[in-house]
Amino acid sequence: MPELKIERQHQLGLTGARAVAEQWREQAEQEWGMTCTSEPGETTDCMHFERSGVSGSLTVTATRFDLQLKLGFLLGAYSGKIEEKIRANLDDLLGPESAN
């Protein structure tokens, strides 16, 4: 199973990062058909998401977004395009200064 790891630094603070994570969740559910569950914490939130052929998590802190994604066999062939789309999506949500 191909795995993608995407990390982004930001300067939004935890409150701002949570708002961006919520936007990402809404998009993942509506556009990509994901089922998402959130585990808020004091300094770190973790969102788990899945759909047929895809599962992963998004960890959010006051300074970082860390996304880990596992692709099933069929979607593995498209891992490059999927990674490119997710990177562009996070960059749009977080702003240009977040790109690593």
Q: Over the stretch 5-64, which tens digit does the pLDDT of each residue have?
A: 999 999 999 999 999 999 999 999 998 899 999 999 999 999 999 999 999 999 999 999
Contact 86, 17 (CB under 8 A): no
Q: Does residue 100 belong to any structural domain of this protein?
A: no
- Residue 65 has phi, psi (to 5 degrees) of -120, 125
Distant-in-sequence, close-in-space partners of 73: CB < 8 Å, separation ≥ 6: 1, 53
pLDDT of residue 95: 79
User: Is residue 97 pLDDT above 70, yes or no?
Assistant: no
Phi and psi torsions of 95, nearest 5°: 100, 165
pLDDT confidence tier of residue 98, bands split at 50, 70 and 90: low
Which structural domain, as residue segments, surrounds residue 7? 3-93
Per the domain annotation, does 30 fall within a domain?
Answer: yes
Tokens 């998004």 correspond to: 58
Q: Count structural domains, the chain.
A: 1
